[in-house]
Structure formats: structure tokens, C-alpha cells
Structure 1
Amino acid sequence: MSRSLLIISRQAPWSGPTAREALDIALAGGAFDLPIAMLFLDDGVLQLAPNQKPQNVQQKDLTANLQALPMFGVESLYACSLSLQQRGLTDTSLAVEYLDDAGLRDLVSRYDQVITF
């Protein structure tokens, strides 16, 4: 029986390799049919901002990886409503479910394993 995995991404896309590593693990796990979800929290919600220009800060574009998540079976995507609001994001590049504090607690409790990046 496969165990479910929630990956929490808390890092901005241009703050180093951490955001990319979280996406790589999600894509790899999805390729092996593991039940995986991703939660974008804190600065991690900045990965969802449309029209990013990562080349301006000499980083790689994560857009293709983010868009590939559903193709790899990672269809449960969540974002913290408060994190989005605090960063002024009203529009996201992906279809994600917005969660308040109660929703976040419920989400984490539903998964066997939780990894935070």
C-alpha cells in the first residue's frame, strides 16, 4: 500500500534551489503513482505568481515544472490564503485550492508523510 505524501513548499522561486527541489520530488513521486499533493505556503506562494522573469535574477524558470504537475499525477495543489493575501497575489499561474488556517490543519492531517522545503 502506497503512503500519501504532502510536499510543503515555503521558499520563493528565486531564493535558491529549494523550490525546484520540492517540484522535482513531486514530479518524481507522481511518475511512480504515489498519492502526492503540494501546498504553497509563506514565500512559496510566490512560485504561483504569473509572468515571472527569473532570468533577471539569474534563476531558472519553474513555470514548466509547475504546469507539468497534473500531467505527472500531482493534481491536488493548495495555497495558503493568508500567504497569498500578505504578498498581494490575487491571481495565480496554476489552478490551486485556497485554504485558511483550519483548512491547512485538515490538509496536513490527511497525509501519511509531510515534507517541508
Structure 2
Amino acid sequence: MPRSLLIISRQSPWSGPSAREALDIALAGGAFDLPLAMLFLDDGVLQLLPAQSAIQLQQKDITANLQALSMFGVEDLFACRTSLAERGMLPDELSMEPLHVLRDQEIAALIDRYDQVITI
């Protein structure tokens, strides 16, 4: 039986390649039916905002990769409520569906559910 994987994405979409790499890992794992989930934490929640202007920052847009997650079977998507609040973001304004917003104590329980955890 495949081991389950939780990918914790902590970087903003424009701070370098980390956000894209986390999505690439999720898409690859999903393509091989690996049981996995993604948690957007800290600046990683900024990836969930719609209408990002990646071209102005000379970065590649990750919106298509985010939208492709469900097509690759990655449907367990989580965001940290505290990270959202610290950045003035509301769950209703995010571009991901379905997205589960978790409190800090729920995040610890989420991490414990997975065999392997990658933080990027």
C-alpha cells in the first residue's frame, strides 16, 4: 500500500521556485495515485489568492497548476486559519475549492495523519 504524503507549502508564489516545486510534487504524486494532501501555511496561503500578476514580477503563473490538482486526484487541500488572518485574507475570497481552513491545533492532528511530510 502506498504511503500517504502531506506537502506543506510555506512560500509565496512570487518568492522563488518553492511554491511551484510543491505543486509539481503534488501533481506528480497524484498522477501515481499516491494518497496525498497539501497544507498552505504562512506565506503559502498567498498562493490561494485569485488574479495574481505573475508576469509583472517576471515569474511563472501557478494558477493553472493549482486548478489542476483536483484533476490529478489531489482533493485534500488545507489552509491555516491563523496564516490567513495574519495576512488579512478571508476564506471566501480564495480560489481553491474545496479548501478546508484549519485552526492551529487541527494542523497538528492533520500532520499526524500522514506517513510522510514534506515542507517546502
TM-score (norm 1): 0.98
Q: Which moved more, 1:18-27 or 1:85-94?
A: 85-94
CA shift, 1:104, in A, is: 0.2
Q: Give the alignment of 1:5-44 within 5 angstroms.
A: 5-44=5-44
Question: What is the DSSP-based 3-state SS (H/G/I as helix, E as strand, rest coil) of the residue aligned with 2:60?
Answer: coil
TM-score (norm 2): 0.96
- Letter of the 2:84 partner, please give it: L
Instruction: State, as a whole percentage, how many aligned pairs show the same letter.
Output: 68
Q: Measure, in 2, the Cα distance between the counterparts of 1:62 and 1:101.
A: 26
Q: Measure, in 1, the Cα distance between the counterparts of 2:15 and 2:86.
A: 18
Q: Give the alignment of 1:2-81 within 5 angstroms.
A: 2-81=2-81
CA shift, 1:63, in A, is: 0.3
CA shift, 1:64, in A, is: 0.3
CA shift, 1:89, in A, is: 1.2
- Superposition RMSD on alpha carbons, in Å? 0.5
Question: What is the DSSP-based 3-state SS (H/G/I as helix, E as strand, rest coil) of the residue aligned with 2:43?
Answer: helix
- Letter of the 2:82 partner, please give it: L
Q: Measure, in 2, the Cα distance between the counterparts of 1:38 and 1:105.
A: 14
Q: Is residue 105 of structure 1 aligned with residue 108 of structure 2? A: yes
Aligned to 1:116: 119
Give 5+ residue unaligned stretches, structure 1.
none
CA shift, 1:21, in A, is: 0.3
Aligned length: 117
CA shift, 1:51, in A, is: 1.1
